[in-house]
Amino acid sequence: MVCIELRFPLIGTALPSDHGYAMYSAISKLVPEAHQADWLAVETVPGTVRGDGGIHINERARLRMRMPQDRLPLMLKLAGKRLEVDGYGVRLGVPQTLLLKPSSALYARCVTIKKFMEPEPFLDAVRRKLDELEVKGQPEIGSRRAFRVGSHTIVGFALTLRGLSDEASIVLQERGIGGRRHMG
């Protein structure tokens, strides 16, 4: 299975700061097959905090998704579409399709592992997940992160993995080690 990254330019000015679930929901409305898809990873869009619960996005902002290449035709349906993301509207431009690139270090803004909300147990769980994938690397956790999914608060941590082989970095980019990859 070859995984790819699809990058859609975003046409708009703002998004909610906590937009992972709302973005996933907007995508699922236009592509119902994406709902609860274990093959889809959607990254949150970076931006500048505005102070009103939103972020400002600039002309270089991209919505990035990872998926198996055979799902590309399905997700290309999003090109040119308007997404309503928790009251903020953005339009998706024509995407770029890229192969995943190996890297000796990978960073994730927020990784969640069910039932692990404290730093040390979370780090132990990360090590177990790496062992399951037969990946060697040095995990470093960063700041604690929380986001809302409906009435639930989900807790995770920023995570950096260093000392990765090319193969290990591709495996991690394809499969991830936590849950909720489709929500950023």
Q: What is the pLDDT of residue 110?
A: 80
State the pTM of this model. Answer: 0.81
Question: Which stretches in the chain have pLDDT values below 70?
Answer: 179-184
Query: What per-residue confidence (pLDDT) applies to 184?
Result: 58
Q: What token pair was written down for 27?
A: 């995508």
The token pair at 126 is 């990360």
Rg of the chain in Å (alpha carbons): 16
The pLDDT value recorded for residue 112 is 83
Residues contacting 144, CB < 8 A, separation 6+? 119, 155, 156, 157
Residue at token pair 């780090």: 123
Give the model's pLDDT for residue 33.
Answer: 94
* β partners of residue 152: 149
